Amino acid sequence: MKQKKVHIMTFGCQMNVSDSEKILLMLHTVGYESVSTVADADMVIVNTCSVRAKAEDRVYGILLTMKGELKKNPDLLIGVGGCVAQQEGEKLLKKIPHLSFVFGTHNLHLLPQIVTQAESGKRLSETAFIDDSSRFDLFPDHGGISGITRTVTIMQGCDNYCSYCIVPYVRGREVSRKRSDILNEVAKAADAGVREVTLLGQNVNSYGRKGGYGTDFSRLIRDVAKVSGIKRIRFMTSHPKDMSDPLLDCFADVEKLCSHIHLPVQSGSDRILALMNRGYTRSEYMNRIERLKLIRPDILVTSDIIVGFPGETEDDFSQSLSLMKEVGYSDTYSFVYSPRPETKAASLPDETSKSEKSERLKRLMALQSSLTKGVQSRFVGSGVEVLVEGISKKEGQVFGRSSGNRTVNFAGSIDMIGSMQLPEIIKNLQNSLLGELKVK
């Protein structure tokens, strides 16, 4: 088979990053290998995100630039996958005449057929949902892909319907993957040298709720912890309303579970949380955080916060700020609310001006940067355990992360990759820590 070349562009969350790996595996079966530039490619795949209008607009911008690429290489095939593809389907083919094919979030496994047809000049779109766990069985085994850290998908989709969010519409119903398949993948990854796994899903802590696997997320974590070779376990993303006591208990006695949790709060105001359909109050959220801190005093917490949700007043917003201080987040990913098609919140009255919203975002980010500084400064002068992941940009240095998910750089060598090291932190840089290995 002639070796053909594909350039895959990925936008959006970890789920899309993981999907891009699967896309490449599927394309290997029809003779494609990955290249890092469009100029070298026979085909471009744009794996898209539609969580905010900006992310969606960017996709159209990129597709426009592809017109220029087509002038240089008229045979270039252009495919669009991911959440915008799921949302728009066939309409994308009509809107963008130079597009070859569209595939939805549940159709990655159809790529070999889709691409073969596209190669013979057919334009097509496949966006049907598969709403059961059979969708996990449709991919070639990729447990053998190496690296020090990797994500393992344990569930997909979301049934929560937060009023602002498009994900349930573009990712479909929540479905958990079979426990035995997850454990097999983790074991293979460990054999291939992986030392840290991140259990991945839109809402991981409701793992097993549907599907009758006779297990839940806390038991899954305990099973993964038994896989030898795996030194660290993380998970993403969890929902505050599903932070069960058994899951909190894992932080007490599963040593491999890292001292970090991404627990998006979205707002500090009960009124806004109710409008968002989040299913918890501020005090219920704080109760989970306090329990976590009791169980794991060194735990670092990160969050997502939406600014300027319809009807958010200055008072509501100030409650988000006060909650950030109360928790002491090490990081927040904050976004100005963006109305999304089909979602409930899109029809709510919204009187706050754009400039007021961006002003609020600025204040939130300034607060977070001082909180991050404070959290990081706690580590200066002490030893921090780091799993070394690779060579830093700066010569002579390696990098990795602490259990609390802070990036640490320190002088080291290539043979340290994959090992645990204990540098002493000597400097708090804005987004990372600088360490130094002490001679024993």
Binding site for ligand F3S (CB under 6 A): 12-13, 15-16, 49-51, 82-83, 166-167, 170-171
Q: Are 227 and 183 in contact (CB under 8 A)?
A: yes
CB of 197 to ligand SF4, least distance (A): 21
- Choose among ligand F3S, ligand SAH, ligand SF4, none what residue 168 binds, the Cβ cut-off being 5 to 8 Å by kind: ligand SF4
Total number of residues binding ligand SAH (CB under 6 A)?
17
- Choose among ligand SAH, ligand F3S, ligand SF4, none what residue 198 binds, the Cβ cut-off being 5 to 8 Å by kind: none
Residues from 179 through 218 that contact ligand SAH (CB under 6 A)? 202-203
Closer residue to ligand SAH, CB minimum distance, 372 or 376: 372
Using CA atoms, how far apart are residues 330 and 260, in angstroms rounded to an integer?
A: 9
3-state secondary structure at position 243: coil
CB of 159 to ligand SF4, least distance (A): 8
Between helix 282-295 and helix 314-327 the angle, nearest 10°, is 10
Using CA atoms, how far apart are residues 42 and 213, in angstroms rounded to an integer?
A: 43
Query: Quick one: tokens of 227?
Result: 């896989």
- Closest by alpha carbon to 46, among 16, 90, 13? 16
Binding string, 76-115, against ligand SAH, x = CB under 6 A?
A: ----------------------------------------
Closer residue to ligand SF4, CB minimum distance, 101 or 309: 309
3-state secondary structure at position 433: strand
- Choose among ligand F3S, ligand SAH, ligand SF4, none what residue 161 binds, the Cβ cut-off being 5 to 8 Å by kind: ligand SF4
Using CA atoms, how far apart are residues 210 and 199, in angstroms rounded to an integer?
A: 17
Closer residue to ligand SF4, CB minimum distance, 202 or 218: 202
Antiparallel, parallel or unpaired: β 155-156 and 175-176: antiparallel
Residues from 218 through 257 that contact ligand SAH (CB under 6 A)? 237, 239
CB of 24 to ligand SF4, least distance (A): 25
Closer residue to ligand F3S, CB minimum distance, 16 or 198: 16
CB of 264 to ligand SAH, least distance (A): 4
Q: Which residues bind ligand SF4 (CB under 6 A)?
A: 158, 160-162, 165, 167-168, 202-203, 239
CB of 236 to ligand SAH, least distance (A): 8
Torsions phi, psi for 34 (to 5 deg): -85, 140
Determine the residue with CB nearest ligand F3S. 12
- Choose among ligand SF4, ligand F3S, ligand SAH, none what residue 16 binds, the Cβ cut-off being 5 to 8 Å by kind: ligand F3S
Q: Are 301 and 327 in contact (CB under 8 A)?
A: yes
Closer residue to ligand F3S, CB minimum distance, 50 or 127: 50
CB of 171 to ligand SAH, least distance (A): 9
- Choose among ligand F3S, ligand SAH, ligand SF4, none what residue 50 binds, the Cβ cut-off being 5 to 8 Å by kind: ligand F3S
Give me the residue label for tokens 């963006």.
338
Using CA atoms, how far apart are residues 293 and 287, in angstroms rounded to an integer?
A: 10
Using CA atoms, how far apart are residues 242 and 244, in angstroms rounded to an integer?
A: 6
Strands (E), 3-145: 4-10, 32-34, 43-48, 77-81, 101-103, 124-126
3-state secondary structure at position 48: strand
Cross-strand pairs, 233: 197, 257
Using CA atoms, how far apart are residues 56 and 44, in angstroms rounded to an integer?
A: 18
Closer residue to ligand SAH, CB minimum distance, 87 or 100: 87
Out of 337, 379, 399, 410, name the contact with ligand SAH by CB under 6 A: 337
Closer residue to ligand F3S, CB minimum distance, 49 or 114: 49
Query: Quick one: tokens of 152?
Result: 């393992």
Q: How many CA atoms lie within 13 A of 333 on its CB side?
A: 8
Show Cβ contacts of residue 439 under 8 Å, excluding neighbours closer than 6 positions: none
List of residues contacting ligand SAH (CB under 6 A): 51-52, 164-165, 167, 202-203, 237, 239, 264, 266, 304, 306, 335, 337-338, 340
